């Protein structure tokens, strides 16, 4: 089959029709499109480093780093540039081609922003791709990050515009879209995805993917997260309430709507058995976070990932 031209005009009915088709047909179509755009046995590996933990002013209902919730997480100062470089070197030695740095901020202040710029330059010197997630950005901040050599900026939409106010009230859905526009206008790659399992309906999942697919340019990387419920947050009771095959359907639909984007199997992998992860790769996921932590939640240890890759015949994508 031939890949249809890249579209940016999907209707919600079309997206839901794709997502709801018989499972075997959905997976076959997603894998066929995936093979026309990527090597089906290569997966891009990223490592995430939490450069500043806790104390965020936002009220995201899923997040352990919000200062509004008692999750037992201790606020920590920002890491030194030298510490970040050592972690980046270790990540590269373990097979990661991209190093992502995350900070718990609503938006970066001037002093800390200058430190992040230094970190970006230092990691770039290691010949790695660099990604950051720092909250909302002004157009000027986005341009400064681009000038420093930042490759990707992550800023998730999280869920549909309709469901968004039930998850976050301290910034709007449009605020997030504005940051994505600033990132793209500054010439950087956009990394933006969502979280499945926050009590949203299938309609919300379809609307989220439709929002990405109808952007003027698709995100270069689309992380699909399975909620990891954190004690002390409003969504702590959501554990085990998402059907894993429904999650695979989201991965496959993302692949069909955005044929050339990297689709990242992100947070929540620690909750998945190997067969579910294998289905996600079959459905078109071709990027993961490697290592034992995603910011503050557990992730499969690197040696487990290596063992799974060996079973599936998957190899890391080389930069």
Residue 100 annotated to the active site: yes
DSSP H/E element including 51? strand 42-52
Give strand pairing partners of 95. Answer: none
The rounded distance, in Å, linking the Cα atoms of 89 and 176 is: 31
Which of 98, 131, 205, 249 is labelled catalytic? 131
Which listed residue (98, 171, 184, 191) is catalytic?
191
DSSP letter for 260, please. Answer: T
Backbone angles phi, psi at 104, to 5 degrees: -80, 85
Please give the structure tokens belonging to residue 70: 């008692």
Catalytic member of 98, 210, 255, 264? 264
Find out whether 56 and 105 touch, Cβ atoms under 8 Å. Answer: yes
Instruction: Indicate which residue of 49, 98, 100, 210 is catalytic.
Output: 100
280 annotated active-site: no
Cβ of 125: how many Cβ atoms within 10 Å? 11
Q: In whole angstroms, what is the distance from residue 257 CA to residue 261 CA?
A: 9
Contacts of residue 119, Cβ cutoff 8 Å, sequence gap at least 6: 51, 81, 84, 85, 101
Separation CA 204–CA 161 (nearest Å): 8
Would residue 60 show up in a list of annotated catalytic residues for this protein?
A: yes
- Asked about 131 being catalytic, the answer comes back as yes
Which one of 63, 171, 269, 280 is the catalytic residue?
63
Q: Kindly state the tokens that stand for 146.
A: 């681009």
Judged by DSSP in three states, 246 sits in helix
Query: Rounded to 10 degrees, what is the CA torsion of 130, 135, 139, 143?
Result: -20
Residues carrying an active site annotation? 56, 60, 63, 100, 131, 191, 264
């Amino acid at each position: 089959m031939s890949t249809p031209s890249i579209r940016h005009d999907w209707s919600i009915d079309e997206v839901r029709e794709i997502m709801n088709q018989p499972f075997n047909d959905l997976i076959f179509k997603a894998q066929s499109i995936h093979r026309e755009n990527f090597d089906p046995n290569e997966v891009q590996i990223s490592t995430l480093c939490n450069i500043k933990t806790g104390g965020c002013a936002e009220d995201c209902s899923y997040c352990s780093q919000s200062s509004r919730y008692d999750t037992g997480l201790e606020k920590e100062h920002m890491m030194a540039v030298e510490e970040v470089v050592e972690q980046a070197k270790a990540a590269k030695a373990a097979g990661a081609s991209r190093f992502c740095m995350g900070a718990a901020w609503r938006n970066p202040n001037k002093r800390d922003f200058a430190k992040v710029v230094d970190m970006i330059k230092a990691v770039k010197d290691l010949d790695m791709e660099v990604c950051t997630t720092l909250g909302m950005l002004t157009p000027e901040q986005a341009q400064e990050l681009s000038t420093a050599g930042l490759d990707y900026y992550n800023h998730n939409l999280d869920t549909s515009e309709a469901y968004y106010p039930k998850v976050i009230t301290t910034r709007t859905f449009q605020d997030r879209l504005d940051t994505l526009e600033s990132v793209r206008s500054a010439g950087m790659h956009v990394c933006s995805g969502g979280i499945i399992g926050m009590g949203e309906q299938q309609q919300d999942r379809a609307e989220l993917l439709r929002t990405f697919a109808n952007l003027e340019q698709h995100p270069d990387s689309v992380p699909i997260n399975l909620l990891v419920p954190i004690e002390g947050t409003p969504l702590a009771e959501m554990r085990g309430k998402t059907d894993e095959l429904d999650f695979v359907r989201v991965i496959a639909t993302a692949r069909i709507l955005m044929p050339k984007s990297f689709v990242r199997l992100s947070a929540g992998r620690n909750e998945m058995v190997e067969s579910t992860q294998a289905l996600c790769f079959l459905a078109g996921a071709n990027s993961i976070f490697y290592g034992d932590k995603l910011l503050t939640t557990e992730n499969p240890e690197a040696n487990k990932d290596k063992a799974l890759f060996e079973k599936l015949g998957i190899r890391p994508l080389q930069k």
